[in-house]
Every structure is written in structure tokens, then in C-alpha cells.
Structure 1
């Protein structure tokens, strides 16, 4: 189908990686390799890079006394986009720093209105082969969900300045934003989820339902608790479950069937913040009264 960059529109291509600070690096590596099915691609004294596909990394773990989200990074569609973003961010009064990139091409970093560090980079290093150690590998890293201090201000920044497109929203609570790879959402910003900085969850996509069920069964076999068990979202159509990760309170969503939006005339839905906004399988209120 070609590159859905829409020709002239400046927008990121995809969520490239997420960097996390953890106080126990060994415990964090154990969780992400045992339950999230990632493989170590590079390790230094205080940093571990983890991959799920042929990308050098999806998750970067940093040893720190203050656990939490360090950075979320998005790959741009083409190298020239970095200069376009530099100019656009400068016009908004946003301070931008250049970076050589950690196993990526050239990168820039800046802060969003809620204080999150955001990186835009030109290209992820490729490992050449799929991971060999985990017994089932995620197909893609889909999205990150973060709490924001002001939903309208954050939406303006990510939509107008960075170029993400709105896919849907839950009124007054959550906005789903897609990048050029067309998955229903690569970033979700939410109000009322907690005080920033707070990474609510990261999502990994699997190819088949059997893959998803194997990952879920691994949680059961190891007595690892779920955050939320099987459900289907009305927005993306994805089915999956959530597991508590390291560092807390972040969780990881494991899913299949996450839809794409290919219609250039797509009209975002404004969904009521009601019972079915997150799980269409819930029964009607009072059904068994």
C-alpha cells in the first residue's frame, strides 16, 4: 500500500521505544524477559536494551533510585523530518536538544506540556534476525498510555505540533492518537489517570490468538497476577489482557486484532465514559438483578 505518510503531512511513523528507570535492574530484566517475552540485545552496567522484533530495542531499562518513565521515543517517517520538527518546535518556544541516538539514527529530545521527555529519531538499528531466546515473540510494540496534566493542552501539542491524528476519544478522559503506521493508536493521553509523570501502560501486539493465550498461560503457570484479564476494546477492536510490570504502577497490555485506520476521511468517535468504553464484553447493568 506504500508509505501512508500522506505526502505533505508531518507526523511520526510509530512508537519506537520506551525508556524506563528501575531501582532493581536484575528484577526488571527478569520480568521483561520472562513475562513480556523480550530478549536482551545489549547490556551495560546500568542499562539494558530489550527487543521483541528485529529492532535493536523496544524497551530500555536504566538503573535509577527513582523508578518511572524516563522517555518515550517515536521514529519519524524520513530523516528530513527532524529539521522540520526542529523548526516547528522552535516556533512554539519548545527547547530542543540534538542527540546522536542510542542505536538509532540522529535524534532530537524535548519536553511535552506535562513534562515528559520525548525523542524523535530517524531510524532504529536492525539486528537482522528475530529473537531466538523467548519461546513466543511479540509482533509489534503498539502504543504507550500516559497521564497528562491538561488534556486539551496535551492534545493541541501532540496533534497540532507533532502531527498525530485523533482516532477516537472518551469524552473528558482519554484521546487516542495514531501515527503514520495507521494503527488505531500509537499514543494515548489521559486525564484522571494520576499525576504526571505516570506511564499507565505499554502494549505489545501478537499475530495469533494462540500466541496471546500462550503468553497468558505463562502468567498462570508462574502465578504472576493479571492487572486485567481478557477483554475487547471498542476503539481499536483489540482483544487482550494486562499484566503488572516493573516498575510499578506501569502494566503491559498483550493483545491481538488491533485495528488500523486507512480511511483518510475517518471521523473520530466521541465515546461516553460509560461501562463499555473499555470492554465490550461486560454485561448490561442489572442484567442478572
Structure 2
């Protein structure tokens, strides 16, 4: 009998450790356009759509950075199937009741990242009311890995995520069941893991994107990279600094989906245009 196909539904949320919780929540609400859905003394849940949370901030006395990646599964029975598969791979799996979600399992990936698979994200019932512009989706996270192919084997063969494209010897774009070009990006040469390079939020149209960008400009907040278009997903957007843990957030529109079951991933050269098709193909000043 062929092995049953398993694939996560989407990136559900990311948990971050921050050293200054008050400053972090101010920045994530003022600039990233998220709304507080739940707050305790040491933990703040932030949402974009009607999901209870996309980003969770934890106060830490230690080092700031990523604490957990969480993916929603397609159906509750997938947790049992994933548990069996992970256990067969020698991965230690623990069960959890979930935090504002249904049941969940947790485990470590080959780089030591804590990963959660969960069911039933809590729904707030109404869209956020406080942010000026609401992002329409939490798209993806980009993390550094020590061994690109070993990590690809884990997220592809074991967790079932599908390769969309890659930049040779550097980056692999992985999609989930929601078909967005990528829900997770694993990258070599970005630094030592654990390292969250950035998270990405999607907006409905160019006016919303420009309003968010203008908010950074009006408040003298720096960009990591200004307007660009990616050749992989086709998305247009910008990367902004000023948001602690991670230090960079991508805001974009027009992020493509892959609906063709016979999609063939592209292996892209490490060239100037591999991240931005608007760049000249060569350095014109050289």
C-alpha cells in the first residue's frame, strides 16, 4: 500500500522571545499592523485576521529570537499519522493541549528548532479593529539551517511539504496545502541556527502595502530592502527593520500560488536577480 500523503495546511504562528516586551508589542502593533488578542504579564498574543494569533511574544531574561514554529494540519487525524511517522524516524514527540488551539504535538527538527503541529486555531469571530491596515495572511517564515539537504529531507519527506523552487546551494522554498508559493523557507549561509531571518505578511492590494510602507517612512523607521519583486513567488513588497525578534519583517502583495500538481521546481542560479527581478542582471558600475 502506498504511504498516505501528509502535508501541513499552513504556517499557523511563530513564537518569539523578546527582552523588552512593552517595546516589542508597541512595534508589532504600530508598524506590523497586528492587534493584541491576549495579554498576560509575560506573554502577548498578536493577530492579523480572525485567527487568535499569528505572533506570540514571550518575555525573556536570556537571548531574544525564535522560540517555536507552528503549522496547522489539514485534519485532526493528521496528528496521529505525523506522530507515528516522526517516531519511526527516531524523533521524540510530545503531546500538548494547545494554546488557544486544539490538540498539538511538538518535536525538534534537525537544527534544533521547536516545531509544533496543531489543530483548530482559535477564531476571534471578527476582524481586528485597532490597526490602521489589516494584513490578510501570515505567509511564511525564513529560517537558517546548518545542512540544507538534511533539513529539506526532514521538511519534505517527513513532514510532507512540497518544494516550489530553490536557489542553488542556498535556499529552498517549501509550500503547504494552502498552495502559497512558500510557507517555509530554509536557507544556508544566513547565519547559525537557531535564527529567524524574517516573517512575511500579505496584504490585499498595493494601496494597503504603500500605506504600511509610508507609516515606516513617517516614523523614520529603517528598511532592510525597499520595493522589489521576487522571481520565485512573483510577490512585490519591502522588508522593514525596527521590529525586535526578528529584526526584519516582509510586507508584500501578489504572492503567487502553485495549483499545478505537476509543478516542476526551478533551480535558480545565485545571481543578482534571484531575489529581485528589477535589479540589472549585472553590476552596471563594475
Query: For 1:86-165, what aligned pairs fall within 5 Å after superposition?
Result: 86-165=83-162
Partner of 2:13: 17
Three-state SS of the structure 1 residue aligned to 2:90 is coil
CA distance in 2, matches of 1:140, 1:221: 24
CA distance in 2, matches of 1:212, 1:126: 25
CA distance in 1, matches of 2:51, 2:119: 13
Tell me the CA shift for residue 283 of structure 1: 1.6
Q: Give structure 1 regions of 4+ aligned residues with deviation exceeding 6 angstroms.
A: none
Q: Note if contact 1:21-1:247 (Cα within 8 Å) is conserved in structure 2.
A: no
Give the TM-score normalised by structure 1.
0.96
Q: Note if contact 2:16-2:245 (Cα within 8 Å) is conserved in structure 1.
A: no
**Does residue 280 in structure 1 map to residue 277 in structure 2?**
yes
Tell me the C-alpha RMSD between the 2 structures.
Answer: 1.0
Tell me the CA shift for residue 111 of structure 1: 0.2
Partner of 1:189: 186
CA distance in 2, matches of 1:101, 1:248: 23
Q: Note if contact 1:22-1:246 (Cα within 8 Å) is conserved in structure 2.
A: no
Tell me the CA shift for residue 245 of structure 1: 4.1
Q: Note if contact 2:171-2:187 (Cα within 8 Å) is conserved in structure 1.
A: yes
* Residues 37-83 of structure 1 deviation map (CA, whole Å, 9 limit, x = unaligned): 00000000100000000000000000002210000100000000000
CA distance in 2, matches of 1:286, 1:242: 22
Give the TM-score normalised by structure 2.
0.97
Three-state SS of the structure 2 residue aligned to 1:276 is helix
Structure 1: tracts of 5 or more residues without a match: 1-7
Query: For 1:192-211, what aligned pairs fall within 5 Å after superposition?
Result: 192-211=189-208
Structure 2: tracts of 5 or more residues without a match: none
